[in-house]
């Protein structure tokens, strides 16, 4: 799974739920809902496992994101690990969700890079507008520092 640090944990959570929804065909509201139907719970558990693997969030925080407690997250991640080892179909579906998650995260990266590039360009534009004023301030600072230096040196010598 991707681990780009500029994509925050909440985005990773939402992306894991979206990936589970895309692959299983279960609506996000059902994955995040309270119903315990097996196919809802399986999709929810797989999304929890992906969040657990792709973030540094504590179990309690993951539980809160899914409106559950930490013990549910422990149960979910253990269930996923066990079922991956037992069921080839379950393992295939989980791998498809992980691949979808990676694809969705990768698709986010150009947008994030574009936003950063726009911000940098804005800073450059602002600095160009104030370059003359900035240079005047720097020159005045240098002049004042030169004026102060002889007095400072004499104070140290005395």
What was the pLDDT predicted at 78?
A: 97
What was the pLDDT predicted at 81?
A: 96
- Residue 80: inside a domain: yes
| Nearest residue to 2 (alpha-carbon basis) of 81, 75, 102 | 102
- Residue 83: inside a domain: yes
For residues 25 and 103, state if they share a domain: yes
User: How many domains does one find in the chain?
Assistant: 2
- Residue 2: inside a domain: no
Domain that holds residue 152: 120-157
CB 48 within 8 A of CB 83: no
Whole-number Å distance between alpha carbons of 44 and 28: 9
For residues 25 and 86, state if they share a domain: yes
Those residues whose C-beta lies under 8 Å from the C-beta of residue 9, and which sit 6 or more positions away, are 51, 55, 56, 57, 61
What was the pLDDT predicted at 47?
A: 97
What was the pLDDT predicted at 108?
A: 76
What was the pLDDT predicted at 5?
A: 46
For residues 92 and 125, state if they share a domain: no
What was the pLDDT predicted at 71?
A: 96
- Per residue of the chain (158 residues), what is the pLDDT tens digit? 544 444 588 889 999 999 999 999 999 999 999 999 999 999 999 999 999 999 989 999 999 999 999 999 999 999 999 999 999 999 999 999 999 999 998 887 665 555 655 665 666 666 666 667 766 776 776 666 666 555 544 554 55
For residues 71 and 98, state if they share a domain: yes
- Supply the pTM of this predicted model: 0.67
Task: Report CA-CA distances (Å) from 126 to 47, 109, 114.
Answer: 43, 26, 18
For residues 56 and 128, state if they share a domain: no
- Residue 1: inside a domain: no
CB 52 within 8 A of CB 62: yes
For residues 151 and 99, state if they share a domain: no
- Residue 113: inside a domain: no
For residues 133 and 58, state if they share a domain: no
Q: Hey, what's the torsion of the CAs at 64, 92, 39, 83, to 10 degrees?
A: -70
CATH code: domain of residue 36: 1.10.1750.10
């Amino acid at each position: 799974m991707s681990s780009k640090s500029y994509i925050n944990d909440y985005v990773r959570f939402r992306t894991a739920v979206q990936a589970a929804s895309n692959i299983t065909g279960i609506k996000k509201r059902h994955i995040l809902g309270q119903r315990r139907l097996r196919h809802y719970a399986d999709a929810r558990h797989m999304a929890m496992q992906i969040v657990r693997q792709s973030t540094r969030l504590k179990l309690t925080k993951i539980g809160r994101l899914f409106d559950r407690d930490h013990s549910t997250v422990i149960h979910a991640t253990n269930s996923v690990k066990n079922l991956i080892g037992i069921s080839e179909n379950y393992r295939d579906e989980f791998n498809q969700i992980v691949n979808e998650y990676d694809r969705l995260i990768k698709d986010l990266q150009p947008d994030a890079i574009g936003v950063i590039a726009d911000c940098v360009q804005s800073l450059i534009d602002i600095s160009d507008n104030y370059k003359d004023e900035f240079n005047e301030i720097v020159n005045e600072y240098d002049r004042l520092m030169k004026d102060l230096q002889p007095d400072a040196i004499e104070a140290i010598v005395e």
